[in-house]
Amino acid sequence: MKSTSAEHATLTIERHMKASISRVFAAWANSEAKRQWFACHDEWTPVEYSLDFRVGGAERNHVADTDGVLHVYEARYIDIVPNARIVYAYDMKLGDTRISVSLATVTFEATAVGTKMLFTEQVVFLDGYADNGSRLQGTEILAARIQAFVEREAGVVH
Across the beta sheet with 114-126, the strand order is 6-17, 114-126, 97-111, 85-94, 70-81, 58-64, 45-51
Measured distance CA(83)–CA(124) in Å, rounded: 28
* Sign of the four-CA dihedral 13, 58, 145, 15: negative
* Ranges of each domain in the chain: 6-43+81-150
**What's the pTM?**
0.91
For 4-50, what is each residue's pLDDT tens digit?
999 999 999 999 999 999 999 999 999 999 998 997 777 889 899 99
Coarse DSSP helix, strand, coil percentages of the chain, rounded to the nearest 5 percent: 20, 50, 30
CATH of region 6-43+81-150: 3.30.530.20
* Sign of the four-CA dihedral 62, 115, 82, 79: positive
For 93-128, what is each residue's pLDDT tens digit?
999 999 999 999 999 999 999 999 999 999 999 998
* Cα-only R_g, the chain: 16
